[in-house]
Amino acid sequence: MREAVAALYRELGARGLNVGNAGNASARHGAGMLITPTGIHGDTVTPEGVVEMTLEGDVAGPGHPSSEWQMHAEIYRADPEAMVIVHTHSDHATALACLNLPLPAFHYAVAGFGGDDVRIAPYVTFGTPELAHAAAAAIAGRTACLLANHGMICHGRDAAGALLTAVRLETLARQYLIARAAGTPRLLTPAEMAAAHERYRTYGQQTRDA
């Protein structure tokens, strides 16, 4: 699992979802978690550098966890379906977050995150318990949320699912910003979104990671 966390963080950088040492990734591990270390660039993180720790902050072995470990821990505590978490500063999701806007139901694929929109947590200083609580509240019942003036966070049932959720959120944020630049996007009605949710429940192998 250490290799999976390290590989996931490297992939976030390779796909341009994070730059330098921005963002972080983690995986549930027993009653605790494995999380990328603080201050490490995506292309240099190794399995040995991944930090094992409890959800209360006790670290097993050497290394210092990401400054956002509390945000990951709070989501793991709140949602038993969250198995892998990704936090990015990807361009378009972050741009939308800096506009202090949620991602609304402009496209049926928004339903794939578990609701009729992707909520935005209010701005709170990074690396604080207050941000952890705000993020956990915004992502409750969903697989992703935006973080005002900061970025985004999402989770999946495995590393591939978490990565796919991050990519899809970044793609939809980009498409929404393009649509807003061209005009006023038509938002889907609650009935249309309800039909989309039903399709997600029954379509192929779709899960909450969709």
Catalytic residues: 68
Most distant CA pair in the chain, distance: 53
> In the chain, which residue ranges form alpha helices assigned H by DSSP?
2-14, 69-78, 91-98, 129-139, 159-182, 190-202
- Give which of 106, 85, 58 is closest to 153, Cα–Cα: 85
Measure the CA angle with vertex 89, ends 111 and 70; round to 5°. 85
Give exposure, 182-194, as e/b (b: 16+ Cβ within 10 Å): eeeeeebeeeebe
CA gap 32, 34 in Å, rounded: 7
Residues paired with 155 in a beta bridge: 85
Looking from the CA of 177 toward its CB, the CA atoms found within 13 Å total 17
What is the distance between the alpha carbons of residues 16 and 83, in angstroms, rounded to a whole number? Answer: 23
CA gap 42, 7 in Å, rounded = 9
